[in-house]
Amino acid sequence: MDSIMKKVDLATYKRRGMFEAFKDRDIPFIATTSNVDITHLKRHVEEHKNGFFLAVSFLISKVVNLVPELRHRIIAGELYEFSKVDPAFTVLMPDDSFSFCDSRCFDTFQEYRAYSAARIQETRTCPDHSVGDKNHMFFITSVPWFSFTSIVHPYCQQYGTIPVVTIGKFFQQGDRLMLPVGLQVHHGVVDGFHLGRFYGLLEEMCGSPEAYLT
């Protein structure tokens, strides 16, 4: 089903005050990083040979769509909510450059894995550097070569309400395997409470991968 874009009525919007306070600021975004426990997820991925990036990006896609504020966009000064948002991610090319790659949100991991794997292969043959309207999407970028404690991405006012999720190199912490996950959002549409909900849901899904990937 295609995403439906619906204008938010500010007269009944509970975050109207925060929306108006932050929507026009020069630097209106929040960029945060939290380490997510992926011990069970990594074990599940290895047992089923699913591919780590496809598995974690599927879970991220589910979480983003479960938090309505991450589906909110400011377009031409007006606030809208999308019924669903699709993931787009970066793909490393053979010459160490990278390309954008648009995917889709699916209910099941099997559908998502098949579609996204095919799109990645297509992108490696035909790179995509387009920067058109992608308000119906959100972005995932992967930097598996290093861990990080904070990360900030370029900001563009026109598309500044599109969330950007970054995953880094996982690392051992005691008997746990931890993944740094960065999240950059626009404070006009997202608060710290919603960031907490994102990380809480992602940690829950990574802790019970069999419930979401099988």
| Catalytic residue positions, numbered | 187
What is the number of alpha carbons within 13 Å of residue 10 lying toward its C-beta? 11
**Torsion-angle region of 174 (φ positive above 0: left; ψ -120 to 50: alpha; else: beta):** left
Residue 102, exposed/middle/buried by CB under 10 A (0-12, 13-18, 19+)? Answer: middle
For 28, 44, 66, 128, 148, the CA distances from 49, given in Å and listed in that order, are 40, 8, 27, 28, 26
For 63, 70, 192, the CA distances from 150, given in Å and listed in that order, are 21, 20, 16
- DSSP letter for 44, please: H
Query: Which distant-in-sequence residues (6+ apart) come within 8 Å of 36 by Cβ?
Result: 178, 179, 180, 181, 199, 202, 203, 206
- DSSP letter for 182, please: E
How many Å apart are CA 34 and CA 114, to the nearest integer?
29
